[in-house]
Structure 1
Amino acid sequence: MTRSVYVTGIGRGDGRQVVELGVMELLTRQVDRVGIFRPLVHEGTPSGERLYELLRSRYRLTQPPETVFGMSYEEGAALQAEKGEDELVSRLVERFHAVAAGHEAVLVLGTDYADTQLPAELALNARLANEFGAPVLPVVSGRGQSAESLASEVRNARHAFASLGSHVVAMIANRVRESEARETSRLLAGQLPEPVYVLPEEPALSAPTVAQVRDKLGAELLLGAPEALGRDVRDFVFGGAHLPVFLPALTEGCMVITPGDRADLVVGALAAHAAGSPAIAGVVLTLGERPGAQTMALASRLAPSTPVLAVPGGSFPTAAELFGLEGRLTAATPRKAEVALGLFERHVDTAQLTQQLAVERGERVTPMMFERELVERSRSDRRHIVLPEGGEERVLRAAEVLLRRDICDLTLLGEPDAVRKRAAELGVDLALLGDDELPPASQASARIVDPQTSPLRERFAEVYAELRRHKGVTFELAHDVVADVSYFGTLMVREGLADGMVSGAAHSTAATIRPAFEVIKTREDASTVSSVFFMCLADRVLVYGDCAVVPDPDARQLADIAVQSATTAQQFGVEPRIAMLSYSTGTSGSGADVDKVREATGLVRRWRPELLVEGPVQYDAAVDPSVAAAKLPGSKVAGRATVLVFPDLNTGNNTYKAVQRSAGAVAVGPVLQGLRKPVNDLSRGAMVSDIVNTVAITAVQAQQNSAPARR
């Protein structure tokens, strides 16, 4: 049976897109096929389409776009006027069920109360939810309201939907002033049968992007990188004064609006941005004037990524057009989506709400479900991860996602001014802590540490010299070694100042792993450090080991890799059924390579008799039930293996890349196993999403240790 949820408001301006995105995130963690249905939508370019495009791109939806929307408001109003509400509801119910028939769950997006020409809109939403068989999640706007008035409005809204027969699963107060949020929660605590969640106003969501400013003004882009158009515009600063008066008025993330003939203000604003104090969103030149070629050339050298726009109108009409411009969640604003999800997940008990929605988890585990589960688990017990490549673009963009989603606390290694400048150039908002600031307990935070100048360098040199004394390492040599970001980060993990480390976006695998071998060392229950990839196929997740570390393991090493891979699989919710791979199955082949696999299989059975293991077995017999039935009938592993152990690195590495490219699988890893504390390597071609996933995996691995790092 399809389970649906109907997210609706009681008026305009409630910002419920945050809630709709958050609920979609919860649904996709539980089931594979989630549909979307908006009963009524405006003609032309409806806001519903913007949200649908975001959901479609983010969650890789395959639902035909024409099925998403029931009908236009204009069509609905005409139909209701001519044939009555019953006919309108009947047609919308028919179109809803057409969507529900092809999906395991449906997210229904209620009406928007914006010039809809429909009377009693709240009652219509309640009736549609009842007819769809969908529980209701009402959202109430807290903008401009005191805690007392908002609490009353939440109670009244709940009563209104309940009196109309709706099954209310929870109430959400959104866009609540920060100063009123705590009191609103107190006033509503225990007052309603259902949970009540209070989401404070988030300035980063209401801030328009540079792209929105450009589109609103019809401005021409003179300078700047396309990706910088996604920067948030948090304020507008109008330039008219002399430079010494103008510069102190600049604020973080502001958009400078100044006549195009004020070259001094343009250069001054961009120079301040290049220095990172403060990082501005961009510049709008008015009056149709443009600085000369020399000024523009200087501007491009000072801040090559920062957008400089030009409009023909004056500053006052430009300001008038921008007044009231607010940010939107769209497919073109993925960073805002991360902010929205972070806000939702910080203030909503997602486990409780999932239980309220009563959506049973599907049997299949898709790549998206696996990734979402990683994020949820890492957030549940937040850990501290060090990223040695603090100035690398992909690492900075990943760090922004990690912080906004509350996945973990971070330390970025690098020269602070250089890292801040690079972040400013990219428009990445990290809200970095100062040296003396304590991290907030309620939200993930980051700071920058420079190994060259850190007071920890002396301490780490002493530790490293002692560890490597048997290799002739002196304190002086150690002092030089630990200034390397990979060694410094690894020593942070060893000394309990971080829970794990992720590196490799700009360093070789050896540069990441060698310090771990020297400093972290192997666990007592492991004789070999090896790796696995989580191979996320369309309908399941397989664990491949070892595809990155041990070139040619002997039988004992191969058995250890199998046991460690099974443990890793269990840690991440994959039931281990181990296939020891070879070029023959069962007793059909012989030779040194097959004998090695056969011996390793015997060792696994002796060491860990509770594990399900089969070997030697060919890949097709390991994963295909029909082949397994012919080659190994009755096997508990063949045909349904989840952990596939390759006989050597050559076979494993080539196989994982072949499956990744040919089958379109998402390969997450390599994930190192066997170390006392987690250190993980990245591919130098890793994308931002790969880094986020690897950091989340490292955080989950760190949760297996008894105590978090000192903050």
Structure 2
Amino acid sequence: MTRSVYVTGIGRGDGRQVVELGVMELLTRQVDRVGVFRPLMHEGPDRLFELLRARYRLSQDPATVYGLGYDEAARLQAEQGTDELVSQLVDRFHAVAREYEFVLVLGSDYADTQLPAELNLNARLANEFGASVLPVVGGLDQSADSVVAEVHNAHRAYADEGCYILAMIANRVAPDAVKIAVDQLGSRLPVPVYLLPEEPSLSAPTVAQVVQKLQADVLLGDDAGLARNVMHFVFGGAMLPAFLPALTPGCLVVTPGDRADLIIGSLAAHSAGAPSIAGVLLTLDERPGPDIVALAERLAPGTPVIAVPGGSFPTAAELFSLEGKLTAATPRKAETALGLFELHVDTGELTDRLSVARSGRVTPMMFEHELIERARSGRRHVVLPEGTEERILRAAEVLLRRNVCDLTLLGDPGAIRKRAGELGVNLGLDVEDHGSGAIARVVDPQTSPLRENFAELYAKLRAHKGMTVELAHDVVADVSYFGTLMVQEGLADGMVSGAVHSTAATIRPAFEIIKTSPGASIVSSVFFMCLADKVLVYGDCAVNPDPDAEQLADIAIQAATTAAQFGVEPRVAMLSYSTGTSGSGADVDKVRRATELVRERRPDLAVEGPIQYDAAVDPAVAATKLPGSAVAGQATVLIFPDLNTGNNTYKAVQRSAGAIAVGPVLQGLRKPVNDLSRGALVQDIVNTVAITAIQAQGDAVIS
């Protein structure tokens, strides 16, 4: 029977989308096919479903998501009664439930619905659907006592309707009221209670949403600038010296378009990082001349400058009524929302109460979710040498929001803050109290007190190569060497680099400083190849051009260990152009000898070789070529005989089969250092950092 959870509330303004997004995140970690059902809907686009569909790659037909429109439901209820309304909605729910393992039900929003006793209707629908209920209470602008009372009242209301209540959530609670409310609630209710503090950036509109609301013209600004959150509005009327101190981080400057001094002054302050603004909004249909526009673009590239025909007062009235929304066009808000949910909700406890049985299939998304969850479960500290690179900064924001790991960014602090400000990225660098969340810091190798100590250490390590302290003083100022030394000295647990540096620049310091693990003859790499229904491990596709039999055996053993560490049961296929004893020649003999060495060193491993790729992964081919093999047809770890074969195969599978390739993941080092492709996307960087953090958790196992 399909299980379902009904996320509902007791009134407007509870910010329930944060909870709905968080629950979907939990479900997609466990279940391959999750459906969505919204019993009652307003006219117009459903922004939350579009976000869920884009983020979680839902294939569900949007037409099946919805029950009835609010107007139609109100008319049906008035003319034929509540029973008929409920009956039709139940039929439509079950049409979805038949197609999915789990259904997330999005309750009504209490916004101009014209439905009497709306809470009772939500409760009855949940009961008729057989869904557990997750009520959400809004705590905005309420005292701790009021929040506690609302939680109790909501629990009683749904319990009195006979609902199975999964947990209670109070959202948008004033941060200083959270602890008080938690202490007052204690264990007074028979279900868990979670309190989420108000997060201003979630309710802040983006510049793009301001543009849409005001039908503004965009004079300057790129997509990244338009995605910035507008945290405040600063209205310009004073002269520049009095105006500049009023600027605040993330503010939108609103000024008549003929005030060139305020336009240029605001952008110059942004460029200097004091502070980073969201953009500039020009009123009165006044536009600066081309010289001012050109100067503005040079001062703060990408920063939005937008214009409206109205005056400041009517513009202000519209701005103050605008609230940010979670949409498919605001992925950064989604990361913020998930980070908030995961930091304040016991996701393990909630998953258990959802009683979600894990799917037998492992989809790419499930594997990526597992990486994030495992990294978060034992938070580590990762150093990122490329601190001013845009993709690194965007990935850092995601990692911090999701509480994946603590970070150190290397580089000039002023340059990093300036670049983060230009991108609208919030790393919380100037926030002292992060609660229990992940934190980031910036270290400049050029000026760090650690430089002298690192120079002495590196000189000692490389003395046999003629290294002196004076020479080492320059070497360790390089971000890759500095980051590697941080890992070596236990000041960070792992390092990820390579977005703009070459593979050699990333791993050479690791070879010189961290060196190989005991028992490992070489450093090698694997890719996690996430196919539609399983994860395979490919090695070595990035480091060793032509390993000999000894090295190939070492790669296989390392890859099997890495696979097991990440939840893939290792069944090792030593690949060749020949299967079993059907072929001969130096290349086949190398693989055959490597297979024998693996069996000698790790008799507990299931290994087969030489074996062709099709016999390794296709049960039908395996039954013909190697019947009775414990590996053939079901291999999970595939070891290629050389880099040429491995690199081309992983790319062919990635491009032709639509697989997600996570890696390369380096193995064989004493401590984790991982390399990025210079074409890495933000999500690739997030995955690689999560993998590095997990490797650091099991450092004693892999070293």
Aligned to 2:71: 74
Aligned to 1:242: 239
The residue correspondences of 1:137-286 to structure 2 (distance < 5 A) are 137-286=134-283
| Residue 515, structure 1, aligned to residue 509, structure 2 | yes
Aligned to 1:28: 28
Aligned to 2:17: 17
Aligned to 2:446: 452
* Candidates 630, 649, 655, aligned match of 1:661: 655
Q: Deviation of residue 227 (structure 1)?
A: 2.2
Aligned to 2:40: 40
The residue correspondences of 1:263-412 to structure 2 (distance < 5 A) are 263-412=260-409
- Give CA deviations for 1:226-274 in whole Å, capped at 9, x if unaligned: 2211100000000000111000000000000011111101110000000
Q: Deviation of residue 189 (structure 1)?
A: 1.4
Q: Secondary structure at the match of 2:196?
A: strand
Distance in 2 (CA, whole Å) between partners of 1:427 and 1:177 is: 24
Q: Secondary structure at the match of 1:510?
A: helix
1:552–1:649 CA contact under 8 A, matched in 2: yes
Aligned to 1:574: 568
Aligned to 1:418: 415
Distance in 2 (CA, whole Å) between partners of 1:418 and 1:169 is: 47
1:31–1:104 CA contact under 8 A, matched in 2: yes
| Residue 603, structure 1, aligned to residue 600, structure 2 | no
Distance in 2 (CA, whole Å) between partners of 1:107 and 1:598 is: 51
1:177–1:201 CA contact under 8 A, matched in 2: yes
Q: Which amino acid aligns with 1:261?
A: D
TM-score (norm 2): 0.99
| Residue 635, structure 1, aligned to residue 629, structure 2 | yes
Q: Secondary structure at the match of 1:8?
A: strand
- Give CA deviations for 1:358-415 in whole Å, capped at 9, x if unaligned: 0100011000000001001111111111111111111111111111111111111111
Distance in 1 (CA, whole Å) between partners of 2:4 and 2:511 is: 50
Q: Which amino acid aligns with 2:142?
A: Q
Q: Secondary structure at the match of 1:661?
A: helix
- Give CA deviations for 1:671-702 in whole Å, capped at 9, x if unaligned: 00010100000001100000000000000001
- Give CA deviations for 1:639-695 in whole Å, capped at 9, x if unaligned: 111000111111101100000000000000000001010000000110000000000
Q: Which runs of 5+ in 1 are unaligned?
A: none
Distance in 2 (CA, whole Å) between partners of 1:190 and 1:132 is: 29
Q: Which amino acid aligns with 1:231?
A: R
Q: Which amino acid aligns with 1:568?
A: T
1:533–1:544 CA contact under 8 A, matched in 2: yes
Distance in 2 (CA, whole Å) between partners of 1:440 and 1:71 is: 43
The residue correspondences of 1:679-694 to structure 2 (distance < 5 A) are 679-694=673-688
Distance in 2 (CA, whole Å) between partners of 1:494 and 1:702 is: 12
The residue correspondences of 1:85-164 to structure 2 (distance < 5 A) are 85-164=82-161
Distance in 2 (CA, whole Å) between partners of 1:464 and 1:628 is: 52
Q: Which amino acid aligns with 2:36?
A: I
* Candidates 577, 582, 587, aligned match of 1:588: 582
Q: Deviation of residue 206 (structure 1)?
A: 1.0
More displaced, 680-689 or 81-90?
Answer: 81-90
| Residue 7, structure 1, aligned to residue 17, structure 2 | no
Q: Secondary structure at the match of 1:237?
A: strand
Q: Which amino acid aligns with 1:607?
A: R
Q: Which runs of 5+ in 2 are unaligned?
A: none
1:144–1:177 CA contact under 8 A, matched in 2: yes
1:136–1:168 CA contact under 8 A, matched in 2: yes
Q: Which amino acid aligns with 2:259?
A: R
Identity %: 76
CA shift in 2, pair 1:433/1:463, >3 Å: farther
| Residue 547, structure 1, aligned to residue 541, structure 2 | yes
Q: Which amino acid aligns with 1:663?
A: A
Q: Secondary structure at the match of 2:131?
A: coil
- Give CA deviations for 1:476-517 in whole Å, capped at 9, x if unaligned: 111111111111111110011111000001011111111100
Q: CA RMSD in A?
A: 1.1
Q: Secondary structure at the match of 2:699?
A: coil
Q: Which amino acid aligns with 2:425?
A: V
Q: Which amino acid aligns with 2:548?
A: D
Q: Secondary structure at the match of 2:210?
A: helix
TM-score (norm 1): 0.97
1:38–1:108 CA contact under 8 A, matched in 2: yes
1:597–1:616 CA contact under 8 A, matched in 2: yes
Q: Which amino acid aligns with 1:377?
A: R
Segments of 4+ in structure 1 off by > 4 A?
none
Q: Which amino acid aligns with 1:340?
A: A
* Candidates 34, 51, 56, aligned match of 1:59: 56
* Candidates 528, 552, 567, aligned match of 1:558: 552
1:433–1:445 CA contact under 8 A, matched in 2: no
Q: Which amino acid aligns with 2:453?
A: R
Q: Which amino acid aligns with 1:287?
A: L
1:433–1:447 CA contact under 8 A, matched in 2: no
More displaced, 273-282 or 296-305?
Answer: 296-305
Q: Deviation of residue 324 (structure 1)?
A: 2.8
Q: Deviation of residue 20 (structure 1)?
A: 0.1
- Give CA deviations for 1:125-168 in whole Å, capped at 9, x if unaligned: 11111111110000001112211221121111111111111110
- Give CA deviations for 1:72-102 in whole Å, capped at 9, x if unaligned: 0111111111111111111111111111111
Aligned to 1:473: 467
Q: Deviation of residue 57 (structure 1)?
A: 0.4
1:43–1:74 CA contact under 8 A, matched in 2: no
- Give CA deviations for 1:514-549 in whole Å, capped at 9, x if unaligned: 110000101113222100000000000000011011
| Residue 504, structure 1, aligned to residue 501, structure 2 | no
Distance in 1 (CA, whole Å) between partners of 2:393 and 2:542 is: 25
Distance in 2 (CA, whole Å) between partners of 1:146 and 1:311 is: 39
Q: Which amino acid aligns with 2:42?
A: H
Aligned to 2:696: 702
Aligned to 1:676: 670
Q: Which amino acid aligns with 1:215?
A: Q
